[in-house]
Amino acid sequence: MDGGTLAFIIILAIALFILFVSCVKIVPQATTFVIERFGAYKTTWETGIHFMIPIVNKVAKRISLKEKVADFAPQAVITKDNVTMQIDTVLFYQIVDSKLYAYGIERPIVAIENLTATTLRNIIGDLELDQTLTSRDIINTKMREILDDATDPWGIKVNRVELKNILPPREIQNAMEKQMKAEREKREAVLIAEGQKEAAIRVAEGEKGSAILRAEAKKEASIREAEGQAEAILKVQEATARGLAMIKEVGADQGLIALRSLECMEKVANGQATKIIIPSEIQGIAGLATSIKEVIKE
């Protein structure tokens, strides 16, 4: 075997090796290959190692099965009460059938964007402005259901639809801001009034409690004073009773009693009384004392 033949064999072996290597295809995770044979759909390769017959088969499309996000430009929509606003949506979708995705529709993402715009207009057209602003969850759910049904023939599953921004006209936004400001001022005024009312109630309750405590203190003082007076009177009565008992025990005669009475009258006369009533017994003793004085002078 000469050198030219050996070189040809080496080149042929290298070419066959390269051809063999090129025929071995490795499909990554979460990816599928759509295989065509002579231009017609043959099969779909899943994750793993596959061998492709050269010239006869070819990889028509490589499709990722990961969830994707489509952020669509804002769409002009008109509400039921004729308010034009701009709404942009975010779509989360996933390819579940590679064959339908490859052959179902041309430019499927553009088709989904247009379908999203028309669906959004139909839903918003049945809602008023206030409902549109407060019903995002309802709108998202309706759009997801409609888009999911519409994209089934394309091998696409719509997982979520979110309204990213809702932009009413500038004058509507100004009116909404004024309304929100008025609502906040109203809530502030209500809170202030409730605070003042609560403070007035607390003050009234405090004054009521103070009045009750003062009345109870006054009542207690009166009771204590009455009890003191009663006790004093009782003491005086007891002392008088003991005095009478002592006089009775010592057998005091009428003259001694009369003299003690005169001493008491002397103390009474030193007071500020304008009238003094003298008992008859004392008057008799006074007369007797005068008579004795006259006898002594004679």
| The pLDDT of residue 229 | 84
| The pLDDT of residue 230 | 81
| The pLDDT of residue 225 | 84
> Which residue stretches of the chain have pLDDT < 50?
282, 286, 288-289, 291-293, 295-298
Q: Domain boundary at 168, 185, 205, which? A: 168
Does some domain include residue 198? no
| The pLDDT of residue 296 | 44
Q: Domain boundary at 18, 46, 64, which? A: 64
> Does the predicted TM-score (pTM) go above 0.75?
no
Same domain, 74 and 17: no
| The pLDDT of residue 217 | 85
| The pLDDT of residue 288 | 46
Does some domain include residue 127? yes
| The pLDDT of residue 289 | 47
User: Which structural domain range is residue 98 located in?
Assistant: 68-168
Q: Domain boundary at 168, 186, 215, which? A: 168
Same domain, 142 and 85: yes
Q: What is the pLDDT of residues 232-260, one digit of tens each?
A: 888 877 777 776 677 667 655 555 555 55
Same domain, 41 and 108: no
| The pLDDT of residue 291 | 47
Q: The CATH number of the domain where 142 resides is what? A: 3.30.479.30
The number of domains in the chain is 2
Mind spelling out the 3-state secondary structure of the chain?
CCHHHHHHHHHHHHHHHHHHHHHEEEECCCEEEEEEECCEEEEEECCEEEECCCCCEEEEEEEECCCEEEECCCEEEECCCCCEEEEEEEEEEEECCHHHHHHCCCCHHHHHHHHHHHHHHHHHCCCCHHHHHHCHHHHHHHHHHHHHHHHHHHCEEEEEEEEEEEECCHHHHHHHHHHHHHHHHHHHHHHHHHHHHHHHHHHHHHHHHHHHHHHHHHHHHHHHHHHHHHHHHHHHHHHHHHHHHHHHHHCCCHHHHHHHHHHHHHHHHCCCCCCCCCCHHHHHHHHHHHHHHHHHHC
